[in-house]
Amino acid sequence: MPRPSVVRSLILSVLSLSCVAFVHAQDKPNTAVIPVPREGNWMQRHELINSRAKAGNIDLLFIGDSITQGWENAGKSVWEKFYGKRHAMNAGIGGDRTQHVLWRLDHGNIDGIKPKLIVLMIGTNNSNGMDNTAEEIGAGITAIVHKLREKLPESKILVLGVFPRGAGPSPQREKNAKASEIASKLADGKMVHYMDIGKKFLEPDGTTLSKEVMPDLLHLNEKSYTTWAEAIEPKVAELLGEK
Q: How far apart are CA 117 and CA 157, in angstroms?
A: 6
Is 216 a catalytic site residue? yes
Is 66 a catalytic site residue? yes
- Which one from 100, 180, 219, 224 is the annotated catalytic residue? 219
- Which one from 5, 24, 27, 216 is the annotated catalytic residue? 216
Is 219 a catalytic site residue? yes
DSSP summary character for residue 121: E
Which stretches within the chain are classed as H helix? Answer: 4-26, 42-55, 66-69, 76-83, 98-105, 134-151, 171-184, 222-239
Tell me how far CA of residue 31 lies from CA of 142, 157, 185, in angstroms: 14, 24, 21
Those residues whose C-beta lies under 8 Å from the C-beta of residue 182, and which sit 6 or more positions away, are 134, 135, 137, 138, 139, 141, 142
- Which one from 66, 87, 184, 196 is the annotated catalytic residue? 66
Residue 27 backbone dihedrals phi, psi, to 5 degrees: -90, 0
Q: Looking at the annotation, which residues are catalytic?
A: 66, 216, 219
